[in-house]
Structure 1
Amino acid sequence: MEATQVDVAAKYPGRLATLTVDEGDEVTAGQVVATITSRETEAQLLGAQAQVLKSEQALAEANALIAQRKSDLDFARTDNERAKKQLQNKNISVQMVDQRRNRFEAAEAAYVAANAQRDQAVSAIEVAESEVERFRSILVDLVLVSPRSGRVQYRLARAGEVVAAGQRILTVLDLNDVYLTIYLPADAAGKLRLGDEARVILDPISQYVFPSTISFVATEAQFTPKSVETSEEREKLMFRVKLQGDSQMLDRYHRQVKTGVRGLGFVRTDPKVSWPPELTVRLPQ
């Protein structure tokens, strides 16, 4: 009997602060099983949050500067228009008109620059906020949760150890995905259909017959002779077949489910044939 193994690994390096489960413990999907601390990431988060505040202050200053530059621009525009009218009446010199026009153009450029400064402050806030979210997501990933419900098979690290990125912390067996692998010759494997019923008898408890389903038939032979030119040689080809345990049965007896147990698997090459009495499903009470 085998079960799907799922590794719980560290996505980022750090010190393993807590490890709340041991080998053999039952865990549920989403359960916190370990936590990793990273002082460096926490410091980086504080720095990113400080940068957000600094960028927000720069935005406030830019908005105030825009208001000031807008006032200067309005005054320079009015003064420039007034100078043009006075020039028509010859009440002002051309030199003074040129000076007022230059002041207006300078005020207009200063207003544009102030708006650009505000845009830079907005962009700086967005960058700083994205950094905050990135470091927060790292801290979230430092809390390790079980991806599936099952049983802890191996504990590969201990609290207090420094772990590297990608290092495995736990191995969890998914007790809802338990199966027995059998091997059949080509003529038998070719007649099987996925989803057909199967039976399993385990050596330690041979008085019981467990229901299962054919969930996989290998497309390539596990054992291939050097030459398969004759029909006799082709019959030697062995194909792997997986018999998936019934989900309701596994849920009912999940505390008794153990991997590594040997047993026998039975399939029908003709689904119309009834199961013999000795292969009638018999479950523990």
Structure 2
Amino acid sequence: MKNTTLTKRLVAGLAVLLLAGAGAYAWKLSRPQGPGPGFVSGNGRIEAVEIDIAAKLPGRVADVLVEEGDLVRAGQVLARMDDAALRARKNEALARERQARDAVAGAEAQLAMRRSDQAAAVAVRTQRESELDAARRRLARSTVLAQAGAASLQDLDDDRARVDGVRAALAAAGAQLAAAAAGVEAARVQVVQSRSAVETAVATTASIDADLRDEVLVAPRAGRVQYRVAQPGEVLAAGGKVVNLIDLTDVYMTFFVPEDAAGRVALGSEVRLVLDTAPGVVVPATVSYVASSAQFTPKSVETSSERQKLMFRVKAQVDRGMLERHADQVKAGVPGVAWLRIDASRPWPAGLALRSTP
């Protein structure tokens, strides 16, 4: 009786092992097998360009408008920072701008007055010059008449005194004109300074406006929200991350090929990716980068034997059309195998043939 029970258990155990082996064998057969000469393969993971959406200025997070996993379009508002302090600064800058413009108006009015004074001083000096010329001619006639005895010495002395008086008046007019010119220059400088103050105030306002725009965090391109790094109410330093996006149009797999194959890899070469999560789906890609020097493959490579070799890193860019059609299914970090055709004359085997997708 005991022997019969033991025999049944052994048979059941063998059956389980056979079923497991058959399942593993079937799974192995379902995966693309080595297509032979003209092809190489490497293990890798799906990667996508990550974009950190960060605060330009230190401040408090006012609101985060997206959730992890959301698809966003370019230009979509993702989060807002508290901008109350910036708006107060803008109001202050606008007040300074108004004051500066008023100062310009006052300085320009003062300049006009100084120019009017200068014009009056020029007229006075011109008049004094004419008076001096007339006084000199009168003195010349008096001198001739006095020498001929036709004029008294008193008249001659009076004419000389008149010349001296007019000459002094002319000097005073010249000094007044110089003072008026200095006043014009001072007023002109004041106008320039006032206009400069306006330009400074306008630039300050424009700078604050730029900072206010930066307080609204938008998506620079379409993608998917990978992480909400910060929450409303958190205070961040300058450069503090709020949201992390992945660009669903820039997805690739990095893998490694041996030296003898790397020399035959051309940019634009066809690559077929088979992901562990969907072994029945072949993803089209093209080579977008080949390293110029060999390196030891990193620990992320799945096969230990590959990690012991010097290999060349290759980057395969996933077809953008397929990414756009299946944006909701794109996921970074998924492991898989990249099959690379290094001989364009070799046809792709049936297991790596592309199937039409909607």
Relative to the length of structure 1, the TM-score reads: 0.92
Alpha-carbon distance in 2 for matches of 1:262, 1:96: 102
Offset at residue 222 of structure 1 (A): 2.8
1:131 aligns with 2:204: yes
- Which of 72, 75, 93 does residue 120 from structure 2 map onto? 75
Alpha-carbon distance in 2 for matches of 1:273, 1:83: 108
* 2:222 matched residue in structure 1: 149
1:222 aligns with 2:267: no
1:24 aligns with 2:66: no
- Which of 118, 132, 136 does residue 87 from structure 1 map onto? 132
The sequence identity of aligned pairs, in percent, is 42
Gap regions ≥5 residues in structure 2: 1-45, 136-161, 298-307
1:107 aligns with 2:180: yes
- Of residues 75-84 and 264-273 in structure 1, the stretch that sits farther from structure 2 once superposed is 264-273
* 1:271 matched residue in structure 2: 344
1:197 aligns with 2:270: yes
Offset at residue 38 of structure 1 (A): 3.4
Give runs of aligned pairs for residues 203-214 of structure 1, distance below 5 A: 203-214=276-287
Alpha-carbon distance in 2 for matches of 1:116, 1:259: 64
Letter in 2 for 1:248: G
Alpha-carbon distance in 1 for matches of 2:310, 2:245: 34
Is contact 1:210-1:283 (8 Å) kept? no
Alpha-carbon distance in 2 for matches of 1:171, 1:65: 58
- Which of 61, 77, 80 does residue 35 from structure 1 map onto? 80
Is contact 2:257-2:311 (8 Å) kept? yes
* 1:232 matched residue in structure 2: none
* 2:47 matched residue in structure 1: 2
1:49 aligns with 2:94: yes
Alpha-carbon distance in 1 for matches of 2:316, 2:241: 29
Is contact 2:93-2:205 (8 Å) kept? yes
Q: After superposition, what is the alpha-carbon deviation per residue over 1:235-271, rounded to whole angstroms, capped at 9, x for unaligned?
A: 9321111111100000001101111111111001212
Alpha-carbon distance in 2 for matches of 1:259, 1:245: 12
* 1:228 matched residue in structure 2: none
Structure with the greater relative contact order (CA < 8 A, sep ≥ 6): 1 or 2?
A: 2
Give runs of aligned pairs for residues 177-196 of structure 1, distance below 5 A: 177-196=250-269
RMSD: 1.5
Is contact 1:4-1:177 (8 Å) kept? yes
Letter in 2 for 1:95: A
1:164 aligns with 2:204: no
Distance 1:169 1:283, change over 3 A: farther
Is contact 2:269-2:342 (8 Å) kept? no
Offset at residue 95 of structure 1 (A): 2.1
* 1:243 matched residue in structure 2: 316
Alpha-carbon distance in 1 for matches of 2:277, 2:169: 108
Is contact 1:51-1:128 (8 Å) kept? yes
Gap regions ≥5 residues in structure 1: 225-234
Alpha-carbon distance in 1 for matches of 2:267, 2:326: 25
Does the residue aligned with 2:314 lie in a helix, a strand or coil?
strand
Offset at residue 284 of structure 1 (A): 4.8
Is contact 2:68-2:226 (8 Å) kept? yes
Offset at residue 168 of structure 1 (A): 0.9
Offset at residue 182 of structure 1 (A): 1.5
Runs of 4+ in 1 over 6 A off after TM superposition: none
Letter in 1 for 2:75: G
Alpha-carbon distance in 2 for matches of 1:7, 1:283: 35
Letter in 2 for 1:14: G
Alpha-carbon distance in 1 for matches of 2:48, 2:68: 16
- Which of 256, 261, 267 does residue 334 from structure 2 map onto? 261
Relative to the length of structure 2, the TM-score reads: 0.74
Q: After superposition, what is the alpha-carbon deviation per residue over 1:157-193, rounded to whole angstroms, capped at 9, x for unaligned?
A: 0011111101111110111111122211111122100
Does the residue aligned with 2:281 lie in a helix, a strand or coil?
coil
Query: Which structure's residues are more often helix, by fraction?
Result: 2
Q: Which has the larger radius of gyration?
A: 2
- Which of 105, 109, 116 does residue 60 from structure 1 map onto? 105
